[in-house]
Amino acid sequence: MADIKQLLKEARKHIDEKNYKDAQECCKNLLRKDKQNYFGLVLLGKSFQDSDQACLAYQKAIACKPSHPLAWLGLASYYEAHDDQIMNVKLLPVYVEILKLQIEEEKALEIISKIGKLGVRYKNGDVVETLINYLKEEPPTTLRKSAEEQLICLINENIPCGEPIIPALLEILPKLITTSSDQNELLQSKIILQKTNFSLAVEEIIEKSYFKENIVVREWLCNQLCKKYVENMCFFGLDIEKHIETIISGVVNSKYPDLLKSMIAFEKGFYLDAYKFSVPLINYHEPEFTEGIFIIKCTMKLQKWSVAQKLATNFLTKVKDSRFCLELNKNLFYSLVKQQKWQSALLVSKNIQKNSHSIQDSFNVDELASVVECLIEVGEPFDDLLNELQSTNYYESLKALSFLKQGKFDDVVNLLQNSNLENSINVFYLGKAYWELKKYNEALLNLLKSARLNSEHFETFIYLGHFYYHTKNDLLKAKKCYEKAYSLNNLDGNLLRSLSDVYLKLKLTDMDFEMLTTISKTTNESWIHFRLGLHYLNRKEWENAIIYFRNVVKINQNDTTAFECLADAYYCRGSYTSALKAYNRLLTLDPNKAIHCLTRSGYIFSLLTQHEEAICTFQKVLSMDPNCILAVKGIAETWIRISKKKIAAKVFGSARDCAQKAVDYLTDVLEKQTNKQFTCLWKLLGDTLIMVTKLPMKYAYIYMSELSNESVKVKKELLDIFPEAIKCYSYISKQKQQFASYDLATTYLAYYNVTKKVVNCHIAFNLTMTCIKEKPQHWRSWNLLGKIGLYVKKYEIAQHCFIKALLSTRKWSVAKIWCNLGTLYLKLKLYRLANYCFWRGQSTLPSYPHSWIGQGLIAEVIREEEAMDLFRHASRLGYHSESALAYADWVCRVFNNKKYQEDPEYKYEIQGLYAVTCAMDLMQWFCDFDSKNPCALTILGILQEQSLLLRSALKSYEKALQYCEGDKKNIALLNMGRILTRMGNYDDAINAYKSITEASLNSTTGLALALFKKGFFEEAYSAYETALQWLSETDEDKADLLVAMASSVYTQKGVNDTKTLLFRSIQASQKKPTAHSLFAVCSLGLLHADKSLSKLAICEMQKYDKDDEFVFDIGFLKSYLHVYDENMNQATKFLSDSLHDFPSNALLWFCMAQYCLMETNLKAKVSSRCAQRALSLAQNNESNINLAKLIATASVAEFIAGDRVRAFILAKQGLHLFPCQPEIWAAVLRSLVSHKIWLVKKPCIMRITDFMRKNLNISRRLAKWITLVEKKLSR
């Protein structure tokens, strides 16, 4: 006995020291002595640790002493150490036995906790029964509470329990939970739902009294119904629709009520509704098993395999639950198989097999058959797996598929002829084999039978469609078959292409477009993008067409057809540069398409206004193919564009030449009989001819070949061009089988405007009426009919037609109609209505000049001050004869008013806006179009005279005289006389004045002035006297005439008679002597040293001191009185006083500059500054001062002051501005002669002096100075 105790001590010591082998030896030695030693067996089990012998040792110990807990605890520890399901199943009986023994309370609590964890971990319902039995034994309070907690935890975790214990569990449950009735009711519901009959269990829960009041229970039941449906895809006979409102009542902020509704829709077969209801409920970032699997099932029922694939793939990246991942992988595999993505499906199947020992464990029979099908399709070994299916219905089908893949169609027939022909797949494969063997009747019979057996197999309908399409050419039946296949599977490429072909052949373009648009979202096939591009091209949606054609080009960069379509799409959209690049790329890829590419490139160059490149390109095309109609049309259009551009620039001769070239190209190609069918060419020819008729009369002609002799071209004048244009438009109407056309009617109306033959107007009217009958909503016809009504003075009809045109037009064309209607009201003097119409035209299209012209015409009647602004604005918008003539007339009116410079507004309008120059250009263009209009020619002459273009003005007046009639000739002769007098042609001026039939004050005084200038003083005196006695009306006119008579007498009879006439002139204006009378008296006194007479006149001049018109004259005469006395200081002082009062008078500054030069050389610099100041003022105010003399004076002053560089610079500037003025040449010559370098270049200076003598009108004093210079240089 002592030895046994010693061995036990040693064994415990070795175990504590983890010396297990020595402990085993001790225990074995002990057991040799006492085989039933309980502690020896327990210690032996501990020493064996986790080996199987430990379990045997513990079991022997228990057998020795079953009521002793030590061995039970050791056995429990052994099972716990082997953490697997098999060992843990054995744990529960051990824990139960331990609880029956006398153990410490803490150990008992630990065992109870382990029992609960075991049940939760392995979902073991026996644990629930164990705890219930334990509670029935009424353990101590602490242990009872622990057991109750574990039992509640198990119920909450939905641990399944056997139906026999459910009543007991429901009975004990109220005792377990006394604090919360809601929790008690929820646990009761969880327990009831574990009953075998699910539908009765649900109804039992619903019938509970607390169900309608407890929202937590309703929400939980809703959740459980969703989970149960996803797991089994049914409600187990539960009439869910009967209870749905009760179940979801009051359940908010939860997705499960709506998810349950979608499941009900799914159960009823409304898969699309179920899908739509469930889409917004899914948490795509953290999906749950229930919702994730259900939405995938919905997509599969809808056969949206690609969507199912995307969902499964997305969810797989988010979930970690192995069960969920397995289900997702299987759904992904199935969706890939249905999309015939065999390789991807095989990869997924391998992922499914990773956690299984064999493929048979991973897949059921259906899934295994799909795996074999994938292997067959990709050409991988499949025999072993196929043999596994030999006993199934899939074997023959898969064997036949393998034969089809190998091209063994006879073997397929032999295999399936005597097989189960009620299998739709077998029948389909048999029909497919017959199809490949070209036995179409047998194929049809089998395919029809397959379709009858399984109407959901899409490939059957594809081959039926092929049969009707390719063999029977029955497009309607083929369409139905393809559409059925498409409804089943919209991802098969051959199906999609065949269906698209059928749609196109049946001209069902909208259906084809919708189908292609749908499949393009999931399929990236080049032919789909190409056909969609063609559809968008036909729909004129250029942007989308470009996108799809670019997709095609990205896939295949050598696709010439796609490049051609892409270029055409760019061209249609207006992206001409991109189109040009595409055509160039196409030209490099396929030189055979050179004609098309070059033609399109020519059109692009033409549209980009690169006309030279366009013409060269079209000529190159015509050299390759002289009969290329598009090239002829393009080159003609290009020449027409050039012609229009030149017309806009008013280069009419060049414009006519360009139009001639367009006509030549068009007539040459239309001479060929085969080309006469092209109405576009006739239209171009007609438009070109009409464009030529709108040129000025001088250029309104064309060279065309006669129909009788096409080789000879004759000149067609204006009246001959219209019949040719009418022929063109008539031929177009004949080709289109029309009785009339708008262009033809417009041409006849234009012909009427030229010929004034009423018959042409009637023809235009009848043609327009026919156009309106054919197209009542065509606004242009109504507008044209309104114009004709205006011409024939049928104003009511015209008004009706214009209003009809307004009602049937679009916004961009409204302005023209409003202006026509306004013109009608203006003609009827209904100014208020006319103004409203023109205002509407302006608001619609502000850039349309006719609206502004109309308002200008109204302003001339109502508010004259605005008329000029309106006509000017209209002229800036575009040339029009009415605005040109009206604006020029207003310009002449304004500057004819001598006081217009006093009004800053008028002064700005004339000088600041360069009114004279603009008006002169407008009238020049007007006269180009209407060269026989005397009024326009007269206005042009006045404007030219104002611009000092005297010779041009004379020509204009002469033309006006040529076309004037009656009394109007006197006006032209008067203008000619005046301009001839200014030019120094006094003889011609006298003849012009004498040709005037009706004398007037202007004509008589003009004649007198010309006679005076010529030296015929007596005749001049007589003319002035005649004007004084018979033609003068006012005292001022009489006084001025007497002054003029005095100037004539002064040259003949001397001072006394002159004084007499001058005093008579002063007496003629009784109230206030005229300024000219006083100036003449003062000047006479200065000339004859009669200071008293001059001073008397100067005293009287004080009445005109503040008059801007006479500022210079008064200041000069006052100062010159002291110059006469050689008192330059006093003269400068008086002139300075005038400058202080009127600093903006350029003549006073010029006079001051001359005085400074006369006074002393020390004031030469001041003289230069005064001259430059006068120059600046004269340029800004358009004074009549001689600017050349100002610059010459400034240069000479600088020279005298010693600044010879500045003097030379001023002289050069003046020479550039006034190359024909002798004063400027003199200043230049003086600067050159004084320079040492130029003394070396004497020949150059001598050429300058020679030029001045021969070409310039130099004075005698200047000629003497030039002679002195020449003598100096010749030394």
Q: Between vectors from CA 260 to CA 257 and to CA 264, what angle results, nearest 5°?
A: 140
Distance CA 302, CA 490 (A): 11
Place of tokens 């001959």: 720
- Summarize pLDDT for 799-826 with one digit per residue, the tens: 999 999 999 887 667 899 999 999 999 9
pLDDT at 1183: 58
- Summarize pLDDT for 162-206 with one digit per residue, the tens: 656 666 666 666 555 555 566 677 777 777 776 777 777 777 777
Which residue, among 140, 216, 132, has the nearest Cα to 171 in the 3D structure?
132
- Beta carbons of 503 and 512 less than 8 angstroms apart: yes
Three-state DSSP class for residue 357 = coil
Sign of CA dihedral 45, 46, 48, 51: positive
Domain boundaries, the chain: 813-877, 879-952
Residue spans of the chain under pLDDT 50: 1
Place of tokens 């004279």: 916
Which residues lie below 8 Å from residue 456, measured CB to CB, with a gap of 6+? 488
Which residue, among 1138, 1141, 1203, 1197, has the nearest Cα to 1166 in the 3D structure?
1197
Distance CA 674, CA 655 (A): 30
Residue 602: Cβ-neighbour burial (10 angstroms; 0-12, 13-18, 19+)? buried
Q: What is the pTM of this model?
A: 0.68
Which residues lie below 8 Å from residue 1238, measured CB to CB, with a gap of 6+? 1232, 1244, 1245
Distance CA 903, CA 895 (A): 11
Structure tokens that stand for 700 in this block:
């309104």
On the CB side of 1262, CA atoms within 13 Å amount to: 16
pLDDT at 602: 93
Q: Facing residues of 703 across strands?
A: 715
Report DSSP letters for 850-870, one per residue.
Answer: HHHHHHHHHHHHS-HHHHHHH
Which residue, among 926, 302, 761, has the nearest Cα to 940 in the 3D structure?
926
pLDDT at 1: 46
pLDDT at 664: 92
Q: Which CB contacts under 8 angstroms, 24+ apart, belong to 99-107?
A: 99/134, 101/67, 101/68, 101/69, 101/72, 102/67, 102/69, 103/69, 105/140, 105/142, 105/143, 107/69, 107/73
Sign of CA dihedral 1040, 1042, 1046, 1047: positive
Three-state DSSP class for residue 730 = helix
Cα separations in angstroms, 226 against 40, 175, 303, 661:
58, 31, 22, 84
Three-state DSSP class for residue 705 = strand
Domain at 813-877, CATH from 3.30.160.270, 1.10.10.10, 3.40.225.10, 1.25.40.10: 1.25.40.10
Distance CA 183, CA 524 (A): 56
